[in-house]
C-alpha cells in the first residue's frame, strides 16, 4: 500500500500558481495550450467517441408515400482511448546555500521558475512531436523550389513567383470539400512566418491596412489568407547539453517549429457536437493538479539537508480528427 507523503497531502498552491501564470506569459513562446481545447480528466486513462463525417455529409431522406415508413438513419462513430503520461522534475536548495544567500536571491521563486520553464518547454516539445510533422494529418503538402507543383505540392513561398493567397485558397477549398468545415487556425514556424511577411504579394495586399507602417501583424495575415486564428511558434530549444551548467558556454539552439505550417480547425472549447482536429487531455484528478494537469510540491529532504521543489504534469496531446488538419513542409524549399 502506498504511503502518503506531506507533498501528496498538501500541494503548494502559491508555487503552482507560478506555473499557471507562465502558461499565459507569452502568446508565441508557448502555444501548446492555445491551439486545441483542453479536456480535464479525473482518471489517468479514459476513452472518447469520434463522430464520423458520414452522419453529417449525406442525407438518407426520401419522399414518403402514403402508408409507408420514413427511412432511418444512424450515428456514425468510433471509440478511442487516451492516456496521460506523467512528467516530473525537481530542484533542490541545500541548507548551506540558503543560509549563505544574500536577500536578493529569492531561491524558492527562482527554483520554481526554473523547473516551470523546463516543464513548459517539455510540453511544447511534446505538442510539436504530436502534431507538427508529416504522417499525422489527412493532407501533407510539400513546397518545391520551382516548376509546376503536383497534387501534393505547392510552389515554395521564398520564390517570388509563388502565390500565398492562391495556395491558401486551395487549402481552404480542399479542406472544406473533405470535411464540410472551413479551417480556422494556422500555426506558423518562425522561418515560414518571416518569408510570408516579406512576400511581395502579402506586402501589396496589406500595405494600405497597416496600423503602423512597415509592420505586418498576424491579424493582417489572417485576413489576407482568410483564416481567423494565427499563431507564430517562437519556442527555442538547445540542441546540445555540453557543459550545461557553465554560464559562459552558449549552447547550439534551434526553433521547435522551423519551416512548416499547420492549418486546421479547433473550436474555442470542447463541445460534444463540434469536432476538433486535436485535443489536450490533462489529468486533473492527480492529487492537487491544476486544470493543466500540473502541480508543484515543496518538501523537506532531511537526510540531504535540502528543501526540494518538485513539479509534475500529466497530459496527452492527441490528433483526434486527422481530416481536420493540413500540414505544409519545406515552405522555403
Residue boundaries of the structural domains of the chain: 6-50+78-329
DSSP string computed for 230-265: EEE---EEES--TTTT-TTPPPPEEESS-S-EEEE-
| Structure confidence at residue 327 (pLDDT) | 98
> Which cell numbers hold the place of 256?
521547435
How confident is the model over 40-82, as pLDDT tens digits?
Answer: 998 999 887 776 666 666 777 788 888 888 887 776 677 788 9
pLDDT surpasses 50 at 321: yes
Angle between helices 107-131 and 13-23 (to 10 degrees): 50
Identify the band that residue 13 occupies on the pLDDT scale cut at 50, 70 and 90.
low
| Structure confidence at residue 9 (pLDDT) | 44
| Structure confidence at residue 140 (pLDDT) | 97
pLDDT surpasses 90 at 246: no
How confident is the model over 265-301, as pLDDT tens digits?
Answer: 999 998 887 889 999 999 988 877 777 788 888 888 9
pLDDT surpasses 70 at 25: no
Distance, in Å, from the CA atom of 27 to the CA atom of 12, rounded to the nearest integer, reads 26
Distance, in Å, from the CA atom of 271 to the CA atom of 257, rounded to the nearest integer, reads 28
| Structure confidence at residue 67 (pLDDT) | 83
pTM, two decimals, is: 0.83
Decide which of 3.40.50.1820, 3.90.1690.10, 3.40.190.10, 3.30.70.260 is the CATH code for 6-50+78-329: 3.90.1690.10
Which is higher by pLDDT, 315 or 19? Answer: 315
pLDDT surpasses 70 at 5: no
- Locate cell 520553464: which residue? 117
Once rounded to an integer, what is the mean pLDDT over residues 139-164?
95
Identify the band that residue 1 occupies on the pLDDT scale cut at 50, 70 and 90.
very low
Amino acid at each position: 500500500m502506498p504511503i502518503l507523503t506531506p507533498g501528496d497531502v498538501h500541494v503548494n498552491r502559491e508555487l503552482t500558481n507560478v506555473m499557471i501564470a507562465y502558461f499565459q506569459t507569452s502568446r508565441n513562446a508557448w502555444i501548446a495550450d492555445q491551439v486545441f481545447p483542453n479536456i480535464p480528466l479525473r482518471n489517468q486513462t479514459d476513452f472518447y467517441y469520434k463522430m464520423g463525417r458520414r452522419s453529417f455529409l449525406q442525407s438518407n431522406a426520401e419522399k414518403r408515400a402514403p402508408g409507408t415508413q420514413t427511412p432511418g438513419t444512424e450515428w456514425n462513430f468510433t471509440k478511442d482511448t487516451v492516456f496521460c503520461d506523467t512528467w516530473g522534475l525537481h530542484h533542490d536548495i541545500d541548507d548551506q546555500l540558503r543560509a549563505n544567500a544574500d536577500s536578493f536571491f529569492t531561491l524558492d521563486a527562482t527554483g520554481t521558475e526554473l523547473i516551470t520553464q523546463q516543464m513548459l518547454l517539455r510540453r511544447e516539445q511534446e505538442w510539436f512531436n504530436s502534431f507538427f510533422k508529416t504522417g499525422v494529418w489527412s493532407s501533407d503538402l510539400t513546397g518545391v523550389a520551382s516548376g509546376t507543383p503536383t497534387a501534393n505540392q505547392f510552389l515554395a513561398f521564398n520564390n517570388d513567383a509563388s502565390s500565398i493567397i492562391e495556395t491558401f485558397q486551395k487549402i481552404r477549398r480542399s479542406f472544406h470539400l473533405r470535411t464540410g468545415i472551413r479551417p480556422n487556425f494556422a500555426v506558423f514556424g518562425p522561418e515560414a512566418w518571416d518569408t510570408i511577411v516579406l512576400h511581395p504579394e502579402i506586402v501589396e495586399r496589406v500595405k494600405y491596412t497597416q496600423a503602423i507602417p512597415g509592420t505586418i501583424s498576424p491579424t493582417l495575415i489572417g485576413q489576407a489568407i482568410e483564416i481567423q486564428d494565427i499563431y507564430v511558434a517562437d519556442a527555442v530549444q538547445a540542441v546540445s547539453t555540453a557543459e550545461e551548467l557553465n554560464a559562459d558556454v552558449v549552447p547550439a539552439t534551434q526553433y521547435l517549429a522551423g519551416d512548416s505550417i499547420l492549418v486546421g480547425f479547433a473550436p474555442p472549447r470542447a463541445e460534444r457536437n463540434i469536432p476538433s482536429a486535436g485535443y489536450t487531455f490533462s489529468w486533473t484528478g492527480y492529487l492537487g493538479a491544476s486544470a493543466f494537469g500540473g502541480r508543484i510540491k515543496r518538501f523537506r529532504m532531511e537526510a540531504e539537508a535540502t528543501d526540494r521543489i518538485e513539479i509534475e504534469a500529466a497530459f496527452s496531446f492527441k490528433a483526434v480528427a486527422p481530416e481536420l488538419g493540413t500540414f505544409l513542409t519545406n515552405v522555403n524549399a
